[in-house]
Structure 1
Amino acid sequence: MPSSLSLWHAISALLSLEDIKSRVVQVKAVIVVFICLFLLMGISSALHLQGEWVIESLAMVAILLGLNWFLTTDTTNIVAGMMLWTVTIFAVSKAFYFDGLYDTALLLYPFVVIFAVFLGSRVMVVPLVGFMLSSYYFIAYAVSTGMIPHNVSSTYSAWAKANDMAILMLIYGLGIVVIGKFIRTLIAKLSLQKEANRLAKEESEKRVLYNDLTGLPNAAKCQQDIEFFLQKNSKDGSLLGFISLHLNNFNWINSTLGHTYGNQLLQMLAKRLKNLEDEQTVVYHTSSIEFSFIKRVPDYESLNDFCNQIIRLTIMPDAMPDYGYEISCSIGVAAAPFDGNNYTDLHRNASFAVYRAKEDEPNSYHFYDNEMEQSIVRRLNMISDLKHAIEHDQFELFYQPKVHLASNTIVGAEALIRWHKDGSLIPPNEFIPVAEESGLINEIGKWVIETACKECAKWQKIGMKGLTVAVNLSPVQFKRGNLPTHIFRALQKYNLDPNLLELEITESLFIDNADHVKQQIHIMAEKGINFAIDDFGTGYSNLNYLTTFNASTLKIDMSFVRHMLNNPQQQHIVNAIIKMSRVMDLENVAEGVEDEQTAQELLAKGCVYGQGYFWSPPVPSDKFLRLLKQYANAA
């Protein structure tokens, strides 16, 4: 049995002129109106008539629901006639048992006539109107003969009342017929307009589904086709590959050669990729730098071959003949039904695979696997957690002492960030790479510099004069060009001598944007800030960088120091770095000193400073202060 929801849908469809010519919709809408009417009549009877006619009103609702169940395209006339006759008979019955010609139930007659004109023809309207006119006189006869108690005191005779009501009904019926013709004409015009709108909408949708620049179908069309192909694919058992092609360096082309040239390149590439289309393959231009493919294949090997074809076409040497520049790309592949069964899932998973391909190398492709998504989700969650940590001050600086080997005294400390998360400390090697990639390292680095300067200034005030603090810098912090401003502001805020601040940079910083970095380092070095080359010997070790970037200290990487006693080759490397630093008038610091024997060997080789667990691991500020006092008392 159709639900009541379908009835409401019918009347809403009628009122919104959807499918207005449908006889089924029209009859359903009228049924809903009468159901509402009889429900209200039942409530009114229960409240004001001591429950009389409640059962009859509910019976009418049941009858109407039954007619709705019986309603089909073949039974509309029968159902419409039965509905109207049933309501008419109900009205005359109630009038007969209550107030005769003065009963409000007779007000149903005009509604019945309206719906009869709307739904039926003369065959339906004439008998109904004739019955209604006859009922007026029948009730008048019943009143005049005493069959119906005359409950209304009036000098107005029942026959006169019947005549007036019959005349009004005739005139009312004629008016409805005239209005009905106008309504039918209007409905016909609206139907024609609706059809014209439908055709215009279809034409508009065709334009919406294709990219204006390349003429290829776009993401919306791809989504539609995916649904169709997936239904077809489930029947033959083949794989449906969704391939996402990203142009890695297209934004650079737009910014350097101009958007006009970039558009020409996209058009040329679209023509090339269009050549890959066949009965099993469709190509789409799904975003400005993304082309997508739907490819039905028997196995994964076929997808491998197809991806190689795409790459060869994309990076052809004559991609930009006027400039001799080649496009590079990254491709991600998701296969239905294993990697998703709708456009959203397939596109998302293919994008995960593209991300992995970009991490791998240019002009490569990767197939989606669950680990990719989990890795990216973990990274996104960590970015969110880092933002929360910045806002809620969840970071803390630990300090590892820098010791003068000859005197065994603490002369400074390296500030190392820790993250308090869910009751545990997270070391920097777990979150710093994510912070650098997301750009959050700028906010974190700014906090580290300010906190280190504040703590170092505190040491000076309690009598630890000349104690220095070292802070690690990320290459990302140099990109904006405002790093010196942040550092000078922190020094000024806490009235700290610039000579007491040492900034540690790695050799990898020198490879890209050397001039940009050099300029900022020179600005800070001129103010007296010291620079140390961290992990020296593990990178490019270009000696020219030591003078170009104002380095004052070399930090010997712990990978050489920890096992130097048992590894002669590492001893030679440590010895060479120490001698080189002395020749170049640079200080040296050995990291990773874990025992006294190593410390003594370094001292014998001419190393000046040491840092490592032999003296202390990185500790919070309060413990570091106790350590300072301990060494001061020992001296």
Structure 2
Amino acid sequence: MTFERSFMNFVQILSEEETTPEISPSALADVGKEYALRSIVCIVSSLKESDSSSEPDVIIPLFGPVPENEPPAYLFKNTLNGRKTVTFHVYLRDNKTWNEEEYQSFAIVIDILMIHTERFLLGKVVKDSALTQYLTGLPNSGGFIAYATRLCESGEIMNYDSFFFNLKSYGLISRRYGLSEGDEIMKRYAKKLREFCQQDEIVAHFGGDNYTALIKKERTKAFLKYISAVPVYGIKNDKKEDLKVAAVTGVYAVDESLKEPGQLISRAAMALSYAKNVANKPYVFVNKAMSTRIYRQKQIEDRYEEALSSDEFRIYLQPKVDIFTGEIVGAESLTRWFCNGVVLYPTEFVPILEQEGMVASLDLYVLRKTCEFIKNWENKGLEPVQVSVNFSRRDLNYKNLAKEIVTIIDESGVDRSLLQIEVTETASEDERLLMTSFLKALKDKGIDTAIDDFGTGYSSLSNLRDFPVTMIKIDRSFISNESIENSNNDEIVLRNIINLAKELNIKVLTEGVERVEQVELLKKVDCHFVQGFLYDNPMPEQEFQKRLIEKKA
């Protein structure tokens, strides 16, 4: 076969597919015979000045085996994208060499082969970039999932632990060094993480300061220690400053409960959230209780809107009592969620609704139902008592809240004096300002207000002066002490709070009354109004109607 014919076959075969490494042995078969080819190996290297200079060389066999520790007969080199060098190592059979004419004609073969190989490499770069974080060059979430999927399919994933971690105080680093140098520090940090990982491990960057990793179980302790203080440096005013970057980490020790690769991220992220927001620790491992809690939280979030529209929330009423007469002087509306045959109490769902910014709709729902109860009592000829409704401090950011409360009460046809709005005392100065404005708006509309859990917030006595309220509800902790010394101190504090409140024309009610001796203490300090299990549990509205008729708890 002539060179022209074998060359045309070579060009035609290479042009048929874009997978150059796979088809090049066939393309070079005829040409190889004429030029005594034994092997051609393509080696892709990163230039020293490039961002990827630390990456290992990529070896791509194009024809024949890869010789070990043997110098090539000929080298052909080119630069790809200004970042990488592509070198073709050519090995010949039987120590053959080419004359000048053979060298020049084969150089044309190499030029064609190089064009197709570089096209293949550029296509691979484009494909890989979709799986790579642009700043650090680490795999992104897609790259992580792709790698994890392969481990899951092979069953090797059981040998790994999954990590999700954030960098501590990275915002301070960025402010100190500026955004540009902050990016460079992030690149150096990523390089350090890559250096720690073994060939069959992965660390990925999801953007910002969010990282994830799959590390062999036997190296978990070493990895946690490593990311607790990764040494990098920053440059400020042309001076190099050493610093250590620490991380807060969630760890999922992969087990048989893993169903799909995404859980490697979600479970480790769940532990990270727990480490940051609950445990305040540098790292936390996923445990069963945590998983149950998160699952429960998601159930509540997903079911809430439907439950509200389906009237799954029931309103219970707990009487407020005058301990000197035994008369019912009021009540508090409390909510229970009847969810798929299970009763959920406010402590289970209210914090979650507050966290997700959903609690205002529930508080307004309770207010509407309470107004319906009062109107129903009036229609039946019963003398109603004032009923209080709790509103979360999170509701205070809703600027039209006071207006909406007034609208709901007025539309129900109930007198405003029969409703009282309770808000829990706050320790936040920002919330104090919002609360003062909210309470004043209600007072101006003739609606009574109360501070719940009084004594647990900051500067409680100044709240008596600043908050326009008609009642304070003293927290149960003031009457729960068992020791005589503490009980004596509580009595002194209670008496002074009650006397001060009376002088300010503010009523006082004590919560959590469960024992007779607590009643005796409250009588001594002249606190008339109480609420607690000693007198009555929260009860359905129908049951509370009987109390209204009897007027006794």
Aligning the two structures, in what range does the TM-score lie when normalised by the shorter sequence? 0.5 to 0.7
Q: How does 1:276-315 map to 2 (within 5 A)?
A: 276-278=193-195, 280=197, 283-296=203-216, 298-310=218-230
Q: TM-score, normalised by structure 1?
A: 0.58
By how many angstroms is 1:507 displaced? 1.8
Q: Name the structure 1 match of 2:525.
A: 605
Q: How does 1:140-539 map to 2 (within 5 A)?
A: 201-226=123-148, 240-246=160-166, 265-278=182-195, 280=197, 283-296=203-216, 298-310=218-230, 330-335=248-253, 343-360=261-278, 364-464=282-382, 467-508=385-426, 510-539=428-457
Residues 303 and 203 (structure 1), Cα distance of their counterparts in 2 relative to 1, 3 Å cut: closer
How far apart are the structure 2 equivalents of 1:248 and 1:523? Answer: 42
How far apart are the structure 1 equivalents of 2:140 and 2:417? Answer: 60
By how many angstroms is 1:394 displaced? 0.8
By how many angstroms is 1:265 displaced? 3.9
Contact 2:173 2:182 in 1 (8 A): no
Residues 478 and 290 (structure 1), Cα distance of their counterparts in 2 relative to 1, 3 Å cut: same
* 1:591 is aligned to 2:511: yes
Could you list the per-position Cα deviations for residues 221-255 of structure 1 after superposition, in whole angstroms to 9, with x for gaps in the alignment?
333444677899969x9x6443322358889999x
Contact 2:453 2:475 in 1 (8 A): yes
* 1:580 is aligned to 2:473: no
Residues 336 and 401 (structure 1), Cα distance of their counterparts in 2 relative to 1, 3 Å cut: closer
How far apart are the structure 1 equivalents of 2:542 and 2:259? Answer: 57
Could you list the per-position Cα deviations for residues 328-350 of structure 1 after superposition, in whole angstroms to 9, with x for gaps in the alignment?
96321234577859743322321
Contact 1:247 1:289 in 2 (8 A): yes
Q: How does 1:104-123 map to 2 (within 5 A)?
A: none
Q: Name the structure 1 match of 2:104.
A: none
Contact 2:227 2:246 in 1 (8 A): no
More strand as a share of residues: 2
Residue 218 of structure 2 aligns to which amino acid in structure 1? Answer: P
How far apart are the structure 2 equivalents of 1:317 and 1:497? Answer: 69
Residue 190 of structure 2 aligns to which amino acid in structure 1? Answer: L
Contact 1:404 1:410 in 2 (8 A): yes
Contact 2:229 2:246 in 1 (8 A): no
* Equivalent residues, number: 434
SS of the counterpart of 1:216?
coil
Residues 484 and 347 (structure 1), Cα distance of their counterparts in 2 relative to 1, 3 Å cut: same
Q: Name the structure 2 match of 1:98.
A: none
How far apart are the structure 2 equivalents of 1:449 and 1:266? Answer: 52
How far apart are the structure 1 equivalents of 2:325 and 2:251? Answer: 62
Could you list the per-position Cα deviations for residues 192-222 of structure 1 after superposition, in whole angstroms to 9, with x for gaps in the alignment?
x999986664232032232224433322333
Residue 333 of structure 1 aligns to which amino acid in structure 2? Answer: V
Residues 264 and 370 (structure 1), Cα distance of their counterparts in 2 relative to 1, 3 Å cut: farther
By how many angstroms is 1:547 displaced? 2.5
Q: How does 1:64-143 map to 2 (within 5 A)?
A: none
More helix as a share of residues: 1
Name the stretch that deviates more: 590-599 or 422-431. 590-599
How far apart are the structure 1 equivalents of 2:430 and 2:168? Answer: 19
Name the stretch that deviates more: 462-471 or 330-339. 330-339
Could you list the per-position Cα deviations for residues 457-516 of structure 1 after superposition, in whole angstroms to 9, with x for gaps in the alignment?
333454555721111111121123232132012112112333322111222364543323
Contact 1:553 1:586 in 2 (8 A): yes
By how many angstroms is 1:313 displaced? 6.5
Residue 436 of structure 1 aligns to which amino acid in structure 2? Answer: E
RMSD value, Cα: 4.3
Aligned-pair identity (%): 24
How far apart are the structure 1 equivalents of 2:263 and 2:495? Answer: 57
Residues 372 and 613 (structure 1), Cα distance of their counterparts in 2 relative to 1, 3 Å cut: closer
Greater RCO (Cα-Cα under 8 Å, separation 6 or more): 2
How far apart are the structure 1 equivalents of 2:413 and 2:207? Answer: 53
Could you list the per-position Cα deviations for residues 113-156 of structure 1 after superposition, in whole angstroms to 9, with x for gaps in the alignment?
xxxxxxxxxxxxxxxxxxxxxxxxxxxxxxxxxxxxxxxxxxxx
Residues 332 and 203 (structure 1), Cα distance of their counterparts in 2 relative to 1, 3 Å cut: same
Name the stretch that deviates more: 346-355 or 467-476. 346-355
Residue 312 of structure 2 aligns to which amino acid in structure 1? Answer: Q
Contact 2:323 2:530 in 1 (8 A): yes
How far apart are the structure 2 equivalents of 1:395 and 1:317? Answer: 59
Name the stretch that deviates more: 582-591 or 463-472. 463-472
By how many angstroms is 1:556 displaced? 1.9
How far apart are the structure 1 equivalents of 2:235 and 2:283? Answer: 19
Unaligned runs of 5+ in 2: 1-15, 24-114
Structure index of larger Rg: 1
Residues 251 and 496 (structure 1), Cα distance of their counterparts in 2 relative to 1, 3 Å cut: farther
How far apart are the structure 2 equivalents of 1:531 and 1:278? Answer: 62
Residue 344 of structure 1 aligns to which amino acid in structure 2? Answer: G
How far apart are the structure 1 equivalents of 2:317 and 2:483? Answer: 27
SS of the counterpart of 2:368?
helix
Residues 251 and 389 (structure 1), Cα distance of their counterparts in 2 relative to 1, 3 Å cut: farther
Contact 2:393 2:431 in 1 (8 A): no
By how many angstroms is 1:628 displaced? 0.8
Q: TM-score, normalised by structure 2?
A: 0.66
Residue 218 of structure 1 aligns to which amino acid in structure 2? Answer: N
Contact 1:398 1:415 in 2 (8 A): yes
Q: How does 1:538-557 map to 2 (within 5 A)?
A: 538-557=456-475
